[in-house]
Amino acid sequence: MGHGSREIKINKRRLLHDLNAVSRIGLGDHGSVTRLVFSIKELRSRQLLIHLMTQAGLEIHIDRIGNIFGRLNGSNPRAPAVLAGSHLDTVVQGGKFDGPVGVIGALEAVRTLKENKVPLSSPVEVVCFIGEESSRFGFSTLGSSLVAGQVHKEDLANAVDAQGTKLEDILSSLGIYRDNLASLKRDPETLKAYLELHIEQGPILEAKNKKIGVVTSIAAPTRFKVVFTGQADHSGTTPMEMRKDALVAAANLITYIEEVCSEFSSMDKGRVVGTVGAMKIEPGVINAIPGKAELSVDIRSITAEAKERVANLVRERAREIAQRREITVDLLPIRDELPVALDERLLPLIKEICEEKNVPYEIMPSGAGHDAMQMAKITPAGMIFIPSKRGISHSPMEWTDPEDICLGAQLLLETIVRVANEEI
Ligand SMILES: [Zn+2]
């Protein structure tokens, strides 16, 4: 195909219009967007996508969990397919771009290819993965993990939302049980590659005045819950030396996490980051000593060694704190994943396309997790980043210039054509 594809241009107006339509679903205060996995809003965004795919004449397949695949056949319908997509679910009060840019961007690319009857030898599929964000169950990349065969029954044990709803119960209502998790796995033989367009969610591209990020690897999180159990007592009658305050123990640990991660935060030490993003206190009233404190720990790094080392230090410190304060601690694993390297053939290909089009690019790792890190386990995966204003994401302040979104989708189109028609 080569040169011909270069004149094929996406329809910018249509892309931005559809992106806008998605972002109106779940719109809240200050322009925030909330579409939690398996909520009505999230379901409506998926219905809109199905509608748009139908309009575009794509062949739609929806698997049992609700991952959506919209397929455009190439000259050889039996050839392995090139998948391109991302997710439509969001965090609580998130932004308009994290996820939808990759889904609607891929849709725009594929419908442009179809309209222009661009010859493709492999089929191309637009994909929307369910539940990429972990905000509801502490479980990230749910849909793509199932497609990649990466969900194991023990992963579901601690996945419960703030209302007490178990992820496992929702899954079983969809016919997905501990013993058939593997049935959602996609046969790798049917895949040629997976491509994902996504906002950077960090400040590097803007700071370096680059338009595109070509992603080398994805930092994966180690996540666990720490539950300190002391003794709830009267805040007025219990002397300081007799207290078993679970929240003070938690506070000690949180401060330690900041300290130890800062020690390992430089690039050569593994760029470790650690966060306690959620906490539950019992009884949680002004006149009682906290008897129970449950905190979520999320540790990430670009190397498995650094992440493991820091996670172990944090676990050790939690035990020490509990021992010193004569209270108990439980460490409940949520998920422990290895950083993932993206495909070594797709990376130079995307780089080459940037060079051909004179687009300033940056070769960079991703600090945030993405569906691509799961898909990389079953097929060659590549990611294209576009700039995030001031690096902000998971916030209503999230912003990417429309021109950058269009450029990203255009580059995705070029990449899809090359991957569909060439040996990789
Ligand atoms: Zn995302």
pLDDT (0 to 100) of residue 6 = 52
Instruction: For residues 237 and 420, give the distance between their C-alpha atoms in angstroms, rounded to a whole number.
Output: 72
> What confidence score (pLDDT) does residue 155 get?
84
Please give the distance, rounded to the nearest whole angstrom, from the Cα atom of residue 414 to the centre of ligand 1: 22
| 303 band by pLDDT with thresholds 50, 70 and 90 | confident
Give the tens place of pLDDT for each residue, 240-299: 999 999 999 999 999 999 999 999 999 899 889 999 999 999 999 999 999 999 999 999
Q: Which residue has the higher pLDDT, 6 or 33?
A: 33
Mean pLDDT of all residues belonging to the chain: 95
Mind listing the pLDDT tens digit for each residue in 131-160?
Answer: 999 999 988 999 999 999 999 888 888 899
Rounded to whole angstroms, the Cα distance separating 141 from 59 reads 24
Provide the token pair at 61: 């397949």
**pTM of the predicted model, to two decimals?**
0.85
Distance 246 CA to ligand 1 centre (A): 34
pLDDT beyond 50 at 128: yes
* pLDDT of 1 higher than 80: no
pLDDT surpassing 80 at residue 85: yes
- The phi-psi region of residue 171 (left if phi > 0; otherwise alpha if psi is between -120 and 50; otherwise beta) is alpha
* pLDDT grade for 22, boundaries at 50, 70 and 90: very high
pLDDT tens sequence across 258-275:
999 999 999 899 889 999
Q: Give the distance (Å) from ligand 1 centre to CA of residue 240.
A: 46
| Residue position matching structure tokens 């230090």 | 313
* Å from CA of 393 to ligand 1 middle: 9
CB 65, CB 146: distance < 8 Å? yes
pLDDT of residue 4: 47
Distance from residue 333's CA to the centre of ligand 1 (Å):
23
Name the nearest CA neighbour of 149 among 172, 107, 180, 119.
180
Q: Does the pLDDT value for residue 108 go beyond 70? A: yes
CA 132 to ligand 1 center in whole angstroms: 7
Ligand 1 mean position, distance from CA 133 (Å): 7
Q: What is the predicted pLDDT for the residue at 119?
A: 96
Sorted by sequence, the CB contacts under 8 Å of residue 199 that are 6+ apart come out as 97, 98, 101, 385, 386, 387, 388, 393, 398, 400
User: For 316-332, what is the mean pLDDT?
Assistant: 98
Instruction: Give the model's pLDDT for residue 320.
Output: 98
Å from CA of 35 to ligand 1 middle: 12
Q: What is the pLDDT of residues 401-412, one digit of tens each?
A: 999 999 999 999
Query: N- to C-terminal Cα distance for the chain?
Result: 14
Rounded to the nearest whole angstrom, what is the distance from the C-alpha of residue 354 to the centroid of ligand 1?
23
Domains, the chain, ordered by start:
2-218+339-421 (3.40.630.10), 220-336 (3.30.70.360)
**What is the spatial distance between Cα 184 and Cα 181, in angstroms, rounded to a whole number?**
6
